[in-house]
Amino acid sequence: MAELRQIRDMKGKLIKRRIGTIILGFSLLFAVPALAEDTRSEVNLEGTGFFTKDSNNHGISQRATNAGGFLVGYRYHFNDWLAAEADYG
């Protein structure tokens, strides 16, 4: 019984270590390019859409609505730690 508990504890520690390593890797992956940027202004454009299926069960039909949207933004950096941003969506 104690051996099973030790094995579970070891597996839990291993999983936590792997998750920590993955989080650290993603943090470094996104932080390094951010340090290389030296621009004063940025423009972004984003889009989204929901395209769902209709449902028909036991003679009752449910029609879904498809939807889409967009977001346009502009950001101006005054210095390294202060910026202003405007978005429209």
CA-CA distance, 71 to 87, in Å (whole number)?
7
Residue range 65-88: mean pLDDT, rounded: 90
Q: Is residue 70's pLDDT more than 80? A: yes
pLDDT at 86: 94
Query: Which residue type occupies 62?
Result: Q
Return the SS3 of 1. coil
Q: Whole-model pTM?
A: 0.45
Looking at the DSSP bridge assignments, the partners of residue 45 are: 72
Give the integer Cα–Cα distance in Å for 39 and 19.
33
Secondary structure class of 55 (helix, strand, coil) = strand
Q: Tens digit of pLDDT for each residue in 9-65?
A: 777 777 878 888 888 887 777 776 665 556 788 889 999 988 888 888 887 888 888
